Structure 1
């Protein structure tokens, strides 16, 4: 069924349904592309900040462990112990209290040949000794970074380590003298647990649930819950064996809740009823408006009663008549637009269209060469004074037509600048031969052989031309280019007229 056969009521219902549906679609679209997207972006930014806080705390823990290790490694008592001259070191500085205050579970001292001099793995929380058999034959690999380190200063290296299926931080360094140099006394290693106790410390410092797991404890990355990030850490073999699992407090929001969706749908229903009533009220005057339009066109008055019916046939007839009026207005508008952009006498562009054309060229300023030519009819005032303004207008029309039709190797735009002055804009993707272009224009005007008995330089109409060669760098302001072209034009006049002068920017 064609839409023209629907009643206004039917069309109103369809329009109301369409508007309600459009509202819901627009709301969801806006929600997705703006509100929801911004909320997700904000949540992700906050999650990144939370990850950064955890990384910072991990870095602080590593730095504390490195500092503690370097304090011991650059202590003469440790060097003396390696050569067997300081047995009090173990009793005074590496006792149970030392392990607890340093929050380390393991300390190992090696001679320069990487032979273990003394080592202990101790759980200071449970107060029990632990076995370090799992790393006893890996000391060379664990000390690899320190073995390659320079011996002129104390340097520590921090790695992650899985020991007895628990994650740890491991720091290694060369043993130096008390000045932190001559680091050839041996090697030292400290091991710090980063299990549940460390996780509680992170939770207290960041307010986040942070779990440090080994590779065997971590679930597959594909099954990670939403709003959970994982930081991978490399061990001494550069393998991912320790993972920091962060449960974010900043949650990625749901796209829309049922409560919000219910509110949107309720509002859509309200919009449907409101639009239905409003459309019914608005459509009533359609017939009256059509009759009023008829009366306006015929010059008669029209009186409508409230009993007039409003169906789609009248609506269609009303639209047709409005279209007729709009077509007439459109034709007038096009005529006015043409007059607004053209000189009514010469039919070429005017200053307004010249500015618009120049603005369009500026958008391509990196690709196109541009030249502006300012053209003045020589001794035009004497021509007007002796031949009359009607002949003067005819000359302006002939000159304008000649400027448009003169052959060129560039794209050309011609406008009347004012009085007997014209402006020609040339543009090209290659360099413009301004001398050739100006000569073509000058010669074309001379070849018209328009009689001018009162010209002191020739028997016919001639022109003087000033050229501003912008090349690939035109000024943003057209007035600045005109100043350059105008100066060239005045120079051409001073040289005797019927000439052209080119100035480069």
Structure 2
């Protein structure tokens, strides 16, 4: 079966079926091997599990600190020390070993009036005393939650605290008796650092890269990637001052891998080649039509091309119809060319043809005498208002024809300038008698004897003329010469109309 027996529609159907089948196979293959949405959801759920593990460990650390504090706060020895009855407490129970065993860096004891009885900040790793001056005047705020706690049972409050630019956990509670009641003996506070060592503990416990940063160290959420989560922690003033940055071990997969991209590109190249070949087969006859059109435009052919030389019957029908349309366009083109240079109503020249005629005269400047006349129908508006626009159009046609046929001793070009105004260009090798030429045109209009009962100067249509006499002078811009003729026209109107006035350049 020859391909010439197929229509464009059939070729398109065959190509579409092939492309659709190819796309379905490639799509199903892609869906089978690369399930991106499911992979993202799975990775996201695993990241949430990692976040939950970190939160659980943070909670355990807070619970452990709270438990240690409550153990001490329920000692009778602490209550006795506050009352001044146990001087051996510091040496026996709150020594350097206590700080190291509890992994705390600060212990503070207060009386019921929140006055500091004893306090110490101590680096148990470096065995170095630290200053607690930064929080010396904040004890009231630090103990605010414990001040509001009940006095009939032992409770503790754990918050985050930034001290000397480092993150800490702070636990506070009331001091009770050994039964955990009568909690009005005073207050106690423990501070535990949660810096690099604590981050290392979290890494070991979770297998994740976890960093604990203060507000000053943490830049912005905008700089984080989708594989990093942040847990905000509030301090004793309920401000976000500590951030736990979790770098997930499970990464969100890329939308497309190099392997996938290579497969897609290979498919795209294949489809491009196929479509290119198909388009070549379909477009080749169209190119032949275009070539025939070019030949026809240049006048080398009378029709586009032979219809039987095309593959499909649609293209044959297309060429047949194009041949018919082109013959009609050729006729219309001549009509459009005429309309482009003539006024449709009066059949005389328009402004465009006037400019072309003037440009031709400019080339002959110095050899011919030239004059430009502006002619205006007197009291044309009252004529239109009383006789109607149809009669007004008829008058314009009669005046235009009369101007073209009127007596003259010069070469003459007539154009409609706009509305009821006409422009006449006179040119001659000899000197032009402008007054006589303008009078001949004026008289010719009067001889038409077109009735105008509403004209105050005559009982028929008359015209006023303004003449710009260019003589043999170098021609300036047409617009400037129009201004001279227009000035003469206005003078003719001021003098009573139905007359001619000549101005020289």
Q: Which residue of 1 aligns with 2:22?
A: 20
Q: Which residue of 1 aligns with 2:454?
A: none
3-state SS of paired residue (1:60): helix
Q: Which residue of 2 aligns with 1:163?
A: 163
User: 2: distance between equivalents of 1:82 and 1:26?
Assistant: 77
Measured after TM superposition, the shift of residue 86 of structure 1 is 1.1
3-state SS of paired residue (1:81): helix
Measured after TM superposition, the shift of residue 6 of structure 1 is 3.8
Measured after TM superposition, the shift of residue 191 of structure 1 is 0.3
User: 2: distance between equivalents of 1:268 and 1:43?
Assistant: 30
User: 1: distance between equivalents of 2:272 and 2:5?
Assistant: 20
User: 2: distance between equivalents of 1:269 and 1:140?
Assistant: 74
Q: Which residue of 1 aligns with 2:256?
A: 256
Which deviations, in whole Å up to 9, do the C-alpha atoms of 1:60-104 show, x marking residues without a partner? 000000000000000001011111111111111111111011010
Measured after TM superposition, the shift of residue 269 of structure 1 is 7.0
Measured after TM superposition, the shift of residue 8 of structure 1 is 7.2
Within 5 Å, which residues of 2 pair with 1:379-458? none
Q: Which residue of 2 aligns with 1:459?
A: none
Which deviations, in whole Å up to 9, do the C-alpha atoms of 1:425-472 show, x marking residues without a partner? xxxxxxxxxxxxxxxxxxxxxxxxxxxxxxxxxxxxxxxxxxxxxxxx
Query: Residue 196 in 1 paired to residue 199 in 2?
Result: no
User: 2: distance between equivalents of 1:3 and 1:269?
Assistant: 29
User: 1: distance between equivalents of 2:168 and 2:251?
Assistant: 30
User: 1: distance between equivalents of 2:241 and 2:264?
Assistant: 49
Measured after TM superposition, the shift of residue 261 of structure 1 is 2.1
Measured after TM superposition, the shift of residue 267 of structure 1 is 6.3
Query: Which piece of structure 1 moves more, 256-265 or 38-47?
Result: 256-265
Distance 1:7 1:161, change over 3 A: closer
Q: Which residue of 2 aligns with 1:5?
A: 7
- Using structure 2 for the length normalisation, give the TM-score: 0.51
Measured after TM superposition, the shift of residue 256 of structure 1 is 1.0
Q: Which residue of 1 aligns with 2:302?
A: none
Query: Which piece of structure 1 moves more, 4-13 or 125-134?
Result: 4-13
Within 5 Å, which residues of 2 pair with 1:492-503? none
Query: Residue 225 in 1 paired to residue 225 in 2?
Result: yes
User: 1: distance between equivalents of 2:146 and 2:13?
Assistant: 84
Which deviations, in whole Å up to 9, do the C-alpha atoms of 1:189-219 show, x marking residues without a partner? 0000000000000000000000000011111
User: 2: distance between equivalents of 1:68 and 1:11?
Assistant: 81
User: 1: distance between equivalents of 2:23 and 2:149?
Assistant: 71
Q: Which residue of 2 aligns with 1:120?
A: 120
Q: Which residue of 2 aligns with 1:206?
A: 206
Q: Which residue of 2 aligns with 1:88?
A: 88
3-state SS of paired residue (1:140): helix
Higher relative contact order (CA 8 A, sep 6+): 1
Whether the 8 Å contact between 1:105 and 1:124 is mirrored in structure 2 is yes
Q: How many residues align?
A: 276
Q: Which residue of 2 aligns with 1:46?
A: 46
User: 2: distance between equivalents of 1:16 and 1:242?
Assistant: 61
Which deviations, in whole Å up to 9, do the C-alpha atoms of 1:87-145 show, x marking residues without a partner? 11111111111101101000000000000000000111111011111100000000001
User: 2: distance between equivalents of 1:80 and 1:128?
Assistant: 28
Q: Which residue of 2 aligns with 1:77?
A: 77
Within 5 Å, which residues of 2 pair with 1:305-316? none
Whether the 8 Å contact between 1:20 and 1:271 is mirrored in structure 2 is no
Q: Which residue of 1 aligns with 2:142?
A: 142
Measured after TM superposition, the shift of residue 24 of structure 1 is 4.8
Gaps of at least 5 residues in structure 2 are 275-310, 314-505
User: 2: distance between equivalents of 1:260 and 1:153?
Assistant: 64
Distance 1:273 1:222, change over 3 A: closer
Structure whose CA Rg is larger: 2
Whether the 8 Å contact between 1:171 and 1:189 is mirrored in structure 2 is yes
3-state SS of paired residue (1:213): strand
User: 2: distance between equivalents of 1:151 and 1:52?
Assistant: 34
RMSD: 3.1
Which deviations, in whole Å up to 9, do the C-alpha atoms of 1:4-62 show, x marking residues without a partner? 6349778655643454355556666x489x92111111111001000000000000000
Measured after TM superposition, the shift of residue 179 of structure 1 is 0.9
User: 1: distance between equivalents of 2:120 and 2:199?
Assistant: 24
Measured after TM superposition, the shift of residue 264 of structure 1 is 4.4
3-state SS of paired residue (1:184): coil
3-state SS of paired residue (2:219): coil
